[in-house]
Amino acid sequence: MLFLETVNHFLWSWLFLPGLLLCGGVLTWRCRGFQLRRFGLSLRLTVGQAPAGPGAEEGVTPFQAASTALASTIGTGNIVGAAQAVALGGPGALFWLWAAALLGMAVKYAEIYLGLLTRRAGEAGGPMTYIRAALGPLPAGAYAALAALSSLGMGNLAQCNTCVSALTGAVQSFLPLDGNSRFFLRLGLGLALALIAAALLEGGVRGVGRAMERLVPWMALIFLALTGAVLLRHAGRLPAVLGQVFAGAFRPRAAFGAAGGLALKETVHWGFRRGAFSNEAGLGSAAIAHAAAQAGDPAEHALWGIFEVFADTVVLCSATALAILCSGVPVAWGSVPGPELLGAALATVFGGRAAPVLLALCVGLFSFSTVIGSAVYGLRSAEYLLGSAGAALYRGLYLACIPIGSVLSTAAVWAAADTVNVLMALPNLAALLLLSGTVSQAVRRRFFT
């Protein structure tokens, strides 16, 4: 574990984050900052038209593709990741979370656009196709293998464990459980989740899309209602907290004095790292979901990438961070918290008994939706490598891992998945840089003429 954590710190600090900054900066510059300058247009052409769009009768609609991508993206990163960004980097980390989102919008737009542009009939499209076009078949195959592993580890085992842990914790707040009872409850919940997942995956990508277009908006609204209640309850503290966010972004010690001895490099590092962890820009995974959509103009459809990063990071992660900071709950600066920080914030409004149940509801929905969204990524990656037979085998393995992840400790899985995610991001970012000219031409032609 210690070795993996050391490796991950090096990979994230010296490879992924510089690569993401370079790629996001180049795309933003070459595309004339369109993610900001045309932000209103991107909303009108995406959620402004949802759920209408081509493909309603034939396949996956744009809104269903976006919902599937958001199902994978909206997860524990929005609760735990945002809390850790604040605890490890101070309030100023939220500012750098927003900065990561700004660059991530351009990156995710490019991923989706290139995935649609290079897809072929009868082939599982997505990042594999544009990586192959830019770098060749070997890096594309390596990416697909790593994506399948990531879906199985981070998207399945780790998320199932989080989901079941949250549900078990909610039960324990009302009914004390001994060790055996807790194990069998977790196993039963894991088997139930596996059956639900099997039913959803039976309908293929279109079936998943239909389920996610109903689930994702509602779970996001529930979460925003709960965190919004905390913000309303402590609204008087919001101006001071926002002042700490902006002051702490550049002078964390000035914002908090000697609290935790926070340094600027930690604030920037954790803001960017947890922002990228949450919205998945740079991993290329969202392009897999969107490659199945019946999209008209790829340059227009790819605007969904901008909305996805905005919804995930600017809206949901900010809701978590601001709810924690405004609630006034104690934060152990420099620590690595779990969901308990948000739970404590919710308890200031809903009480100590209701808060764990509400938190379990959010964590359970977020993590299980990630399980389903990640299944699409893994299946498409397996299909790219081994055809339909490989996808069928992967589906069976994926479903079998759900109850396993529900009862086993997944600390090592989280660490290994961090490593896999960085490794799969490297060929993706390299391909995006090589093809940035293609993206900028499309953006200028479609949105600046």
Q: 65-86 burial, b if ≥16 CB within 10 A, otherwise e?
A: bbbbbbbbbbbbbbbbbbbbbb
What range defines the domain where residue 93 resides?
A: 2-447
Nearest partner of 379 among 443, 307, 288, judged by Cα: 288
Look at residue 55 in the predicted model and tell me its pLDDT.
Answer: 44
- How far is C-alpha 139 from the chain's CA centre? 23
- What's the rounded Cα separation, in Å, for the pair 63 and 385? 27
The CATH number given to whatever domain includes residue 339 is 1.20.1740.10
Q: Are 372 and 197 in contact (CB under 8 A)?
A: yes
Supply the Cα-derived Rg of the chain in whole angstroms: 21
Of 276, 271, 308, the residue nearest 68 (C-alpha): 308
* In the block, residue with structure tokens 């309030």: 91
The count of C-alpha atoms lying within 13 angstroms of the C-alpha of 238, restricted to the half-sphere facing its C-beta, is 13
How many CA atoms lie less than 13 Å away from 437 in the CB half-sphere? 2
> Cis before residue 252, ω within 30 degrees of 0?
no
Q: What is the DSSP string of 296-327?
A: S-HHHHTHHHHHHHIIIIIIIIHHHHHHHHHH
Nearest residue to 278 via CA among 266, 270, 267: 270
Query: How many Cα neighbours within 13 Å face the side chain of 152?
Result: 23
| Cross-strand pairs, 60 | 293
Entry pTM = 0.92
Q: Which residues of 373-391 are buried (b: 16+ CB within 10 A; e: fewer)?
A: bbbbbbbbbbbbbeeeebb
Give residue for tokens 């996956």. 60
Can you give the three-state secondary structure of 356-393, one letter per residue? HHHHHHHHHHHHHHHHHHHHHHHHHHHHHHHHHHHHHH
Res 1: pLDDT: 63
pLDDT computed for residue 86 by the predictor: 86
Tens of each residue's pLDDT in the chain, 449 residues: 667 778 888 888 888 889 999 999 999 999 999 999 999 999 998 888 765 544 444 568 888 888 888 888 887 778 888 888 888 888 888 999 999 899 999 999 999 999 999 987 667 678 999 999 999 999 999 999 999 999 998 888 888 888 888 888 888 877 777 778 889 999 999 999 999 999 999 888 888 888 898 899 999 999 999 999 999 999 999 999 999 899 888 876 555 544 445 567 777 777 787 777 778 889 999 899 898 887 778 999 999 999 999 999 999 999 999 999 999 998 887 777 778 889 999 999 999 889 989 998 898 899 889 999 999 999 999 999 999 899 999 999 999 999 998 888 767 777 777 788 889 999 999 999 999 999 999 999 999 87
Give the three-state DSSP class for 102. helix
Distances (CA, A) of 120 to 146, 147, 178, 427: 22, 20, 54, 20
Which pLDDT belongs to residue 259?
A: 46
Question: What is the Cα–Cα distance from 72 to 212, expressed in whole angstroms?
Answer: 10
Query: Can you tell me the distance from the alpha carbon of 410 to that of 160, in angstroms, rounded to the nearest whole number?
Result: 10
User: How many domains is the chain partitioned into structurally?
Assistant: 1
How many Cα atoms sit within 13 Å of 373 on the Cβ side?
Answer: 31
Alpha helix stretches (DSSP H) within 31-61: 34-37, 39-45
Of the candidates 330, 339, 328, which has an alpha carbon nearest to the alpha carbon of residue 241? 328
